[in-house]
Amino acid sequence: MPLGERAGDNTESRFCGVETGFSDDMPNMLNRHLVSGKFDFVVAPLMDPAYRPSLVQKDTFGSAVLPFAGSDLVLSPSQWSTHVVGKISLWIDLDSEDETLRMDSETTLRQEIAWASHLSLQACLLPAPKRASCANYARCVNQILQNLNHMQLFLRIPLVMSDDDSLGADSETLVDSWETWNSFRLLCEHHSQLSIALDIVSTLPSANSLGRWFGEPVRSAIISTDCFLTNARGYPCLSKRHQMLITHFLNHAIQIIISGKSVHPRAILDPDASHAVEERHPLRPYLDYIAYLYQRMDPIPEQERFELGYRDFLQAPLQPLMDNLEAQTYETFEKDTVKYSQYQRAVCKALLDRVPDEKASKITTILMVVGAGRGPLVRASLEAAEETGRRLKVYAVEKNPNAVVTLNSLIRLEGWEDTVTIVSSDMRHWNAPEKADILVSELLGSFGDNELSPECLDGAQRFLKQDGISIPSSYTSFLQPVTASKLYNDIKAHKDLAHSETAYVVKFHNVARLAPTQPVFTFTHPKPSDTESNNRHKKLQFVIPDDTGSAIVHGFAGYFDATLYKDVHLGIEPSTATPNMFSWFAIYFPLREPVCLDRGATLEAHFWRCCGSTKVWYEWCVTSPSQSPIHNSNGRSYWVGL
């Protein structure tokens, strides 16, 4: 049964499993753990652990019946599929120096996965690599993955990274299980069906070290009963850090699996009676505690529920200058009340600065909304005028003829005919009848300038008065390196150069942010000099914190922060993001090949903004600790049309 009800959560993290030993009576074991224990699935060995291929006596025909836990008929196909995760025999050691053990291990691995695939199991749990060098283990798994159907393979990895303090100055003795995973994953070519089952231990590494795993394909977290403490009433509980980690896992659709023997009383005493109530499943108190953590999590906010379907999904950025937006796109952005309230605040402050109180009834401010769309900025500007008691004359300039139709209807409906003049034209080509006091636009993309706000506003600047105000007045883009295994695999699946050199709009969720953001390009309006180029170049150096450990960079997350007017800001840069605003997701610049970083390494990257006669594009590369190719040279894969 699910851990609880949480609005908007339809992920698999609502279900909790239990790790079991081998049983040749699978129906009875399921009944014990699922019916009595109320777990949702079992992680169970499919083959008798005493089996060794080299010890089996074969019959006359050279074959033998393998000691599986019953035939496929003992459970229905749906029971196998939904209630059983296969657990590959723990004894296998494919990198052993003992050739017999190595050959037995390879044979058994193939037999057990073949049987699990025959049962249509959704996943199999592979034992953790037993030694630092696991090349043969990875080779065998990679061979299996090439011909595997839908089934996922979970590699068991202990969640450990020793600190310098605990192991002295000899850095070679540091234990970092992420490096084991990374080595295995690289040998298997980042295969999308190879995932992680993290073994949670009683001592957790640093927050930065833990953070790496949220960009990896972690599908389950196995927590031993040894990790649990005992509260004042004798019930199991977890430390604050373990609680926080489990909550993060549940938020990232990672399933929890309880493992081990009960180290707490099996009978729960009725507080109103002197006798014990009916004895329950020995691990039920641990399940109840995980359910308690799940149930006390905050409900998923309505905004996030709307965004669930977009999480870690690659979307091509809009081309609003080259293409005309559709009604549905306009409608989505117009629902972002936070954005327009910020614009209204900015216009209010600009009107108050522009017109003193004593002249409020005499001076009419000329305000031009360039890129008016279906009118939300026109409405925000008129409401700002009403709020401040200033007189306003508005020009609504819009190049999309379909949006102009809606604008005309809005003006008639609101009775704004005497105040608002609609101009159906590209702002870069319109000859304004008079100059503007205030120029208002919403041309910002996820990376600030990536929807060509600089080029558009440069073209509109000629009809802004010398002392006129531009809203926004400036904006800066930001970047940070990220681990994003899912995004990397989604791009790799296309098997071409273009997709690995394209910038995408992404609602980041399962990513690890490896270093703080750094500013990249800044644009100011009105532009200080007509001769200033919109081409840009920036060298960035990101220092990965020492306590993070080794890491892998799949690409860069991009954001922006804009100053609308004076102290009124708008943006998605994580440390200063405008709360509850959903108009923009981040942008993602992928790397064709991931870059591996050692503990405490510095990542050096270069980004360019390039302008041509018909398009604008970005180029990027990594120069340290290793060299990458320059991505998107001449805008061959991704560009924004002028």
- Lowest mean pLDDT segment, chosen from 85-99, 225-239, 306-320, 353-367: 306-320
Q: What's the CATH number for 12-300? A: 3.20.20.150
Query: Do 327-442 and 475-641 agree at the fold level?
Result: no
pLDDT at residue 355 is higher than 80: yes
What average pLDDT does range 380-408 have in this prediction?
96
Amino acid type, 511: V
pLDDT at residue 507 is higher than 80: yes
Distance CA 63, CA 59 (A): 6
Is residue 398 part of an annotated ligand binding site? yes
Q: Which pLDDT score, from 0 to 100, does residue 166 have?
A: 42
- Name the packing angle between helices 401-414 and 327-334 (round to 10°): 50
Give 232 or 69, the one with higher predicted confidence: 232
pLDDT at residue 83 is higher than 70: yes
Q: 58 pLDDT band (50/70/90 cuts)?
A: low
Amino acid type, 238: L
Q: Is 424 exposed, middle or buried (0-12, 13-18, 19+ CB in 10 A)?
A: middle
Tokens 């609880």 label which residue?
A: 4
Angle at 507 between CA 501 and CA 508, to 5 degrees: 80
118, β-bridge pairs: none
| Residues with catalytic function | 442, 451
Provide the CA 494 distance to its chain's centre, in angstroms.
20
What average pLDDT does range 593-622 have in this prediction?
96
CATH 3.50.50.60 describes domain 475-641: no
Q: Which pLDDT score, from 0 to 100, does residue 10 have?
A: 81
Is residue 426 part of an annotated ligand binding site? yes
Q: Which pLDDT score, from 0 to 100, does residue 174 have?
A: 62
Q: Which pLDDT score, from 0 to 100, does residue 266 have?
A: 52
Q: Which pLDDT score, from 0 to 100, does residue 165 have?
A: 43
- Which two structure tokens, joined as six digits, stand for 464? 């802004």
Give percent above pLDDT 70 in the chain: 95
Is residue 343 part of an annotated ligand binding site? no
Torsion angle defined by CA atoms of residues 107, 113, 119 and 120, in that order, rounded to the nearest 10 degrees: -150
Q: Which pLDDT score, from 0 to 100, does residue 280 have?
A: 77
pLDDT at residue 272 is higher than 80: no
pLDDT at residue 164 is higher than 80: no
* DSSP at 472: S
> Within 13 A of 156's CA, how many CA atoms are on the CB side?
21
- Lowest mean pLDDT segment, chosen from 14-28, 159-173, 305-319, 577-591: 159-173
| pLDDT tens, position by position, 33-43 | 999 899 999 99
- Which two structure tokens, joined as six digits, stand for 30? 């399921």
What average pLDDT does range 441-451 have in this prediction?
96
Distance CA 470, CA 476 (A): 15
pLDDT at residue 624 is higher than 50: yes
Is residue 51 part of an annotated ligand binding site? no
- Lowest mean pLDDT segment, chosen from 263-272, 348-357, 370-379, 593-602: 263-272
Q: Which pLDDT score, from 0 to 100, does residue 42 have?
A: 97
Q: 209 pLDDT band (50/70/90 cuts)?
A: very high
What average pLDDT does range 305-322 have in this prediction?
87
Q: What's the CATH number for 327-442? A: 3.40.50.150
| 3-class secondary-structure state, position 410 | helix
DSSP secondary structure of 303-343 = HHHHHGGGBT--BPPP-TTTSPPPHHHHHHHHT-HHHHHHH
| pLDDT tens, position by position, 570-592 | 999 999 999 999 999 999 999 99
pLDDT at residue 81 is higher than 80: yes
Distance CA 218, CA 159 (A): 11
What average pLDDT does range 76-94 have in this prediction?
95
* DSSP at 315: B
**Is the Cα dihedral 287, 289, 293, 295 positive or negative?**
positive
Q: Where are the domains of the chain?
A: 12-300, 327-442, 475-641
User: Do the Cβ atoms of 159 and 224 come closer than 8 Å?
Assistant: no
| pLDDT tens, position by position, 129-163 | 998 889 999 999 999 999 999 999 999 999 998 66
